[in-house]
Structure 1
């Protein structure tokens, strides 16, 4: 027997967010991009995707939503140019979040390195170098029981690694990297940049991108194994893959001079990968400038963003941890290189670091990824609690 319209309506689930049904596709797309959700699809698909994400937000335990600080480890993938940032995110109560802007993430660690050199890196800025090979000794006795205390992980690459790809060597480096980072920062969330095999519209698949993609999979595999083998502390870590495109689109939408594709019926001008990279470097440069110099003006250290814009209101997006001088030194070195001051200005340790900071894009990407993810979560919380008015106010 065919159901009548009334019966169908009575069986349809009641939406927790009825305001989604009255929005247009373009509005749903903007909400999706503001919350880190895939923005393609029909209106029905978009609304269902957003509702699922907001329902999951409401279902989170209250202590995870508001009480405990987050420790976010954001990784920009690479083998010779891997970069990561550790952010401590203070969690505000519902009353505080309504009354004022959410607390800014605190940058407590920021590094760029070759994966094979993780054992030589002073992760915590204490002068004590970390070594993933003795991770079992730094774990609690209950957790370390499943790992032989005599286990040694060899991570130093043999000569000729540039020309050869050895899965067993990269597996060892992935294990050392992950266990060292877990031990040093005890993250609640781990964000790993998603890789693409092709970039810039090219048809060829570069060998190096395959290698980085394999390492990406190994990092996820190591984290999955550790979460299921070592008890509740590690099992509670939230691991997510982050698509770089969604990060960029988030900041495009925040730029008042950038019109999202499809909202006014016109197609946005395509920008090159170089312009996108430069815009991200500039955006992080302004964040650092605002963090290091409280009296910085809006146009201090300005750089052209090409056609991107990537957000004009960027003052004090992050804080630099007061007890991490290495973070301040690296931030100063980043700013010197970004502003082209490295050869003209020589001061303290930052001047010495300016020549060693290397590529700015890797450092910018991991920090931008972490801060963007935090903004996504804040917007999801506000939408789930306040509805559409939270998005309009933002």
Structure 2
């Protein structure tokens, strides 16, 4: 989240089978908030200057009036320092202020509509560590490039594979060709034109999606672990090891595939496959179904 790069992703899941259905991306966009809200780019950063843009972001974009509220809302936690500086950069201050205002206005909507939305302050560090290989080389800008390539392949699998792990709403109109699906997403923006509002970089869009996908996987894994603990601690610990090994292996394979493709000089590095990288456990699905049935009774 930021003033120039406010990225968001909205995902839809089957509520009865949340961990055994492919998430569909219904919205995936990015804004230069100052231009979008016509705030201006002068040096003033009084709180009242950002109240209206923040109000519009919450009530027009994040939680549009007249539409059903989501079950969960993840808001990326913003840094308090920049580049290791011991002081708070002015731009960081502005973004922190926007983050606090968003949380406040979201809470106000929740109280107003008496909703049970789960609001999560999502850590970018946790997300970054989750979507990376164990290789020590993968950090900083390299890790960011890896995530971009990984999401590019998720999109490629959706367009080209019969067993994709994400789905994309038809309004994005992704066309089948070699690579650059993320660019197609940016060009298909319904909210603004890429040229006018400067959505040139795709890494913010990538991180917005991966925050959501990581959270879904964590929820699925928590459900699986609850079932395993019924059998006993030993079974639960074994399952923890299996989940860890499976995920780290997939990230490692993705990293090697990107490296191999880059060495061959075949254009933008992407991963070879994401077939097993997003898993939806049938046992977790069954548990959720049973819980829903008991509530309905």
Band of TM-score, shorter chain: 0.5 to 0.7
Q: Deviations over 1:212-237 (max 9, x none)?
A: 11100000011112222x132xx211
Take 1:357 and 1:220, find their aligned partners in 2: how far apart are those partners? 24
Matched, 1:82 2:6: yes
Take 1:197 and 1:333, find their aligned partners in 2: how far apart are those partners? 41
Q: Which residue of 1 aligns with 2:154?
A: 287
Matched, 1:102 2:20: yes
Matched, 1:319 2:199: no
* Residue from 33, 40, 64 that aligns with 1:115: 33
Q: Secondary structure at the match of 1:239?
A: strand
Task: Please report how far the alpha carbon of residue 290 of structure 1 lies from its aligned counterpart in structure 2 after TM superposition.
Answer: 0.9
Take 2:3 and 2:103, find their aligned partners in 1: how far apart are those partners? 15
Q: Secondary structure at the match of 2:9?
A: strand
Gaps of 5+ in 1: 1-76, 119-154, 260-268, 296-314, 343-347
Task: Please report how far the alpha carbon of residue 334 of structure 1 lies from its aligned counterpart in structure 2 after TM superposition.
Answer: 12
Q: Which residue of 2 aligns with 1:378?
A: 220
Q: Secondary structure at the match of 1:287?
A: helix
Residues 82 and 92, structure 2, Cα contact 8 Å, conserved in 1: no
Q: Secondary structure at the match of 2:120?
A: strand
Q: Which residue of 1 aligns with 2:240?
A: 391
Q: Deviations over 1:221-266 (max 9, x none)?
A: 11112222x132xx211111000111122223xx4xx27xxxxxxx
Q: Which residue of 2 aligns with 1:336?
A: 180
Gaps of 5+ in 2: 230-235, 244-297
Q: Deviations over 1:134-179 (max 9, x none)?
A: xxxxxxxxxxxxxxxxxxxxx531x4x2422131121111111111
Take 2:87 and 2:49, find their aligned partners in 1: how far apart are those partners? 26
Q: TM-score, normalised by structure 2?
A: 0.66
Q: Deviations over 1:241-298 (max 9, x none)?
A: 000111122223xx4xx27xxxxxxxxx375421122122111111111111116xxx
Q: Which residue of 2 aligns with 1:358?
A: 200
Distance 1:185 1:170, change over 3 A: farther
Take 2:201 and 2:91, find their aligned partners in 1: how far apart are those partners? 17
Residues 89 and 103, structure 1, Cα contact 8 Å, conserved in 2: yes
- C-alpha RMSD over aligned residues: 3.2
Distance 1:334 1:85, change over 3 A: farther
Distance 1:201 1:337, change over 3 A: farther
Residues 76 and 121, structure 2, Cα contact 8 Å, conserved in 1: yes
Q: Secondary structure at the match of 1:84?
A: strand
Q: Which residue of 1 aligns with 2:80?
A: 197
Q: TM-score, normalised by structure 1?
A: 0.51
Residues 5 and 199, structure 2, Cα contact 8 Å, conserved in 1: no
Take 2:47 and 2:178, find their aligned partners in 1: how far apart are those partners? 34
Take 1:115 and 1:349, find their aligned partners in 2: how far apart are those partners? 19
Matched, 1:242 2:90: no
Q: Secondary structure at the match of 1:208?
A: helix
Q: Which residue of 2 aligns with 1:221?
A: 104
- Choose between structure 1 and 2 for higher RCO, CA contacts under 8 A separated by at least 6 residues: 2
**Runs (4+) of structure 1 moved beyond 4 Å?**
331-335, 353-357
- The structure having more radius of gyration, on CA atoms, is 1
